[in-house]
Structure 1
Amino acid sequence: MSLSLYKKKRSFTKTPEPTGGKALKNELLFVVQKHDASRLHYDFRLEMEGVLKSWAVPKGPSLNPEDKRLAMMVEDHPFDYRTFEGTIPEGNYGAGTVIVWDEGTYTPLEDTGDKKENEKTLLKQLKAGSVKIVMHGKKLKGEFALVKTNYQGENSWLLIKHNDKYASEKDVTLKDKSVISKKTISQVEKTSNKIWAGNRAKTTEKKSAKQVNNKSAKQVNNAKTKPAVKKRGVTVTKK
């Protein structure tokens, strides 16, 4: 599957987001990323054929079978995106803070035990507009379905929990910490001085207004205290 649209929307000299990655051999992986962009939403991503098929879920997943959560299908994302957590800088597509809200493995409802055969089944279901899966995550477990709908255009789907032993009326989004860093969106945004992309990091050198003001005040004070000297009859201040 192509990542051309994903790459077209991004400038990789400015954003730390990954460009590719090689899938694992034995299991299909999923990730759900909480993304505080122009609007807070959850990115629901399923590995298929080496990329992550992706849906933006505005209200986030639900464990209640009565809830039918809107899921807007977006461009495929690279496999390495499953571990992306940190900050996309302002001025870039999707600018904002991202955490890995949940992750794990998944299979089609009728698991063959073979990854390639499972992928074939899932791709057929995707094309037919009805994907039925079993999730083995830390927060999301059991059976779910993605069903295509015309509710908000051709890219709109519904994410629905099946009525199984993991179904619940409890709001699972209240579990708001990353399964990787154990931080909330706001904690990552306020305390992190790095942008993480998979296992690599780029320093953003985030400075608070207080730090900047303190630095400026220190520079002013240093300038005031530097001694003046005479040079050819002209008084100058040492720099």
Structure 2
Amino acid sequence: MTRRFVVQRHRARRLHYDFRLEVAGALASWAVPKGPTLDPKVRRAAFHVEDHQLGHADFEGVLPAGQYGAGDVIVWDNGTWEPRDRDDPAASLAAGELHFDVYGEKLRGRFVLIRTRPATDEWLLLHKRDEYAVDGWDPEEHPRSVLSGRTNEELPH
């Protein structure tokens, strides 16, 4: 089964990256304030937010003021992913820990999402040390959309 993932760079009230994994017919989603990284020494805070419809994976544009998530959005990365620990990612997420591999244009390799406290929406996103690990890798050094080649600043407002 091919599962999609997408990371959208979203300048709303605050800049964050929306990290989304296709799970059970929807995009399970986390807001990652500092963005995902390939640096295995870095642990990123990730906040589980509402699931999104699969069609949202290709959204790039400006959400108008007054609308939920108002601000500009680019598709910062996308590709496919697969679970590593078991073939039921929904059960892994419910248990609070998901190990998975991503195959994107910017992100590649083994990642882990871990809930930091039971019954909360607070998680950590980290990249394991593997052949794709890059010490000091910063998502802000890679600002362009994988769909349009534009930055958030270059979107028509």
8 Å CA contact 2:59–2:74 kept in 1: the answer is yes
Tell me which protein shows more helix as a share of its residues. Answer: 1
Tell me which protein shows more strand as a share of its residues. Answer: 2
In the alignment, residue 154 of structure 2 is paired with which amino acid?
A: Q
- TM-score, length of structure 2 as denominator length: 0.95
TM-superposed CA distance for 1:123, in Å, is: 1.4
Partner of 2:97: 130
**Percentage of identical aligned residues:** 46
Q: Does residue 34 of structure 2 align to residue 59 of structure 1?
A: yes
Q: Does residue 148 of structure 2 align to residue 178 of structure 1?
A: no
Partner of 1:164: 130
Matches of 1:174 and 1:166, distance apart in 2: 17
Matches of 1:165 and 1:98, distance apart in 2: 30
In the alignment, residue 153 of structure 2 is paired with which amino acid?
A: S
Partner of 1:197: none
Q: Does residue 120 of structure 2 align to residue 154 of structure 1?
A: yes
Structure 1: stretches of 5+ with no match in the other structure: 1-25, 112-117, 193-205, 207-239
The runs of 4+ residues in structure 1 deviating greater than 3 Å are none
Matches of 1:65 and 1:142, distance apart in 2: 11
**Larger relative CO (CA 8 A, sep 6+): 1 or 2?**
2
Once superposed, what is the RMSD of the aligned Cα atoms? 1.6
Q: Secondary structure at 1:106's aligned position in 2?
A: strand
CA spacing shift, 1:156–1:110, aligned 2, 3 Å: closer
- TM alignment of 1:85-234, pairs within 5 A: 85-109=60-84, 118=87, 121-150=88-117, 154-169=120-135, 170-188=137-155, 192=156
Structure 2: stretches of 5+ with no match in the other structure: none
Question: Match for 2:14 among 30, 39, 42?
Answer: 39
